[in-house]
A and B are shown apart, each in its own frame.
Chain A
Amino acid sequence: MEERELISRVLAGDPSAERALYDAHVDRVFRLAFRMAGDMDRAQDYTQETFIRAFSRLETFRGDAALSTWLGSIAISVTLNGLRKVRRLNEREVGLDDFTPAGHTRPEAEPDLKTRLNQAIDDLPEGYRAVFVMHDVEGYTHEEIGASLGVHPGTSKAQLFRARARLRQALADFAKD
């Protein structure tokens, strides 16, 4: 079924079309949410919230970009917003330090490249991390990232360049080997 027709049917209240739209996009949304959150519960929360928002605002989708890009913009917004809230609360509430923060679910391990890289990615500034995960990990194009984050594709490229530079710097001792 063509995307436009699917959207029309969802807007007309067809439950099977809603499910079809969900099925077509849920993997991509969930993967992005999980990559950013590093936690099953939060990834599920953010995916759920993304689709609830998408269904309630589908009539505002103008079709300028692909539906997947529009969904991606909602998903990254919901995810970053959720992670910010969790981070703010963690910063404020010393007593909640024992709660597991996003992206820190790994056990203490030998600091091999993978472990150090994961830590370095976690430590990237939010914008850099989003661009790096979307481009280098999930394979989004700079055009898609730009549309999702509301920035120019050139900005996305620049942020990716800086993110990689920071990772290279953080892993400098591996780079020498």
Chain B
Amino acid sequence: MMDDRFDDLLRDSAREYNDPPETPREELWQRIVAAREAEKATPKEVLPFRRLRTIRAGRPLSWAAGIAAVLALGIGLGRMTVKRPASVATSAPVPSATAAPRVSGVAYRVATTEHLSQSEAFLTLFRASVRGKGNEQLASATARQLLATNRLLLDSPAGADARTRLLLQDLELVLAEIAQLSPQPKSRDLQLITEGMEQGGVLSRLRTAVPAGTSATQGAL
């Protein structure tokens, strides 16, 4: 068969590639309106995480270990460099977490961004698995890892930002529910978890908090 004819055949056949169904206009519009309302309802302080997301993680557990290490480094540096108040009671204010060195602030932001990005991808896959035949037992294991990191972040200066704290708290609830799933969960339990995610707008808020990738189009955004 000639190349040109084969190209024509390719084009014709390719039109059926992932053939989209009719656009669920109303459903999508309701979701957009709800997500925008949820966004307006939270404090306006936007997470300054842009450009910090290019960090790449490696093996399955290494990213979690990396986050923990970054947190530990941040906390350690903070403790080493922040002056403690004198033992004699004075009226001097106790240094706040924001007085910690700049490097720890960056470390917390990096760790939080990576964690939110991982959580978003995980919840997206989890939701897809509810419709198909997922492996909830292993999903629970992943949820437990994310939950541990989430709690570390909540107790760190990363949780000082009101919007981040609210998001981490809502995320904690969802992750805890998944972590506690039985090996053979009832479909009703799975449904409740996904409904909770939808109602709280957790996924869309995660996407808003996590910056766009470093694709060539980023400038347009």
Contacts and interface: CB of A to CB of B under 8 A. Distances in A.
Question: Are A and B genuine complex partners?
Answer: yes
Interface string B193-221: 00000000001100110001101111111
Q: Looking at chain B, what size class is its interface with the partner chain?
A: 35 or more
A49 B142 contact: no
Interface in A81-128: 81-82, 84-86, 88-90, 92-100, 103, 113-114, 117-118, 121
B207 A49 contact: yes
B124 A42 contact: yes
Interface string B56-88: 010110010000000000000000000000000
Interface residues of A, number: 74
Contacts of A90: 125
Given A43-B20, A136-B10, A175-B6, A150 B217 contact: yes
B28 A47 contact: yes
B186 to A, nearest CB: 18
B94 interface: no
A85 B121 contact: yes
B180 interface: no
Interface in A1-50: 19, 22-23, 26-27, 30-31, 34-45, 47-49
Given A47-B28, A168-B3, A96 B217 contact: no
Contacts of B122: 89, 93, 96
Chain B interface SS verdict (over half) = helix
B204 A49 contact: yes
A176 B1 contact: yes
A98 B135 contact: yes
Nearest to B211: A81
Interface string B1-40: 1010011011101111110110111011101100110010
A105 to B, nearest CB: 8
Nearest to A113: B13
Contacts of B160: none
Interface string A48-88: 11011101010000000000001001101110111011101
A100 B128 contact: yes
Given A26-B28, A150-B220, A164-B7, A81 B212 contact: yes
Contacts of A133: 17
Contacts of B208: 52
A55 B36 contact: yes
Interface string A130-168: 001100110000000001111100000000000010011
Given A114-B16, A150-B218, 17 more contacts: A22-B29, A26-B29, A30-B28, A34-B18, A41-B131, A44-B28, A52-B32, A77-B212, A81-B213, A84-B213, A89-B121, A93-B122, A96-B125, A100-B129, A137-B14, A147-B220, A175-B3
Interface of B: 1, 3, 6-7, 9-11, 13-18, 20-21, 23-25, 27-29, 31-32, 35-36, 39, 57, 59-60, 63, 117-118, 120-122, 124-129, 131-135, 138-139, 141-142, 203-204, 207-208, 212-213, 215-221
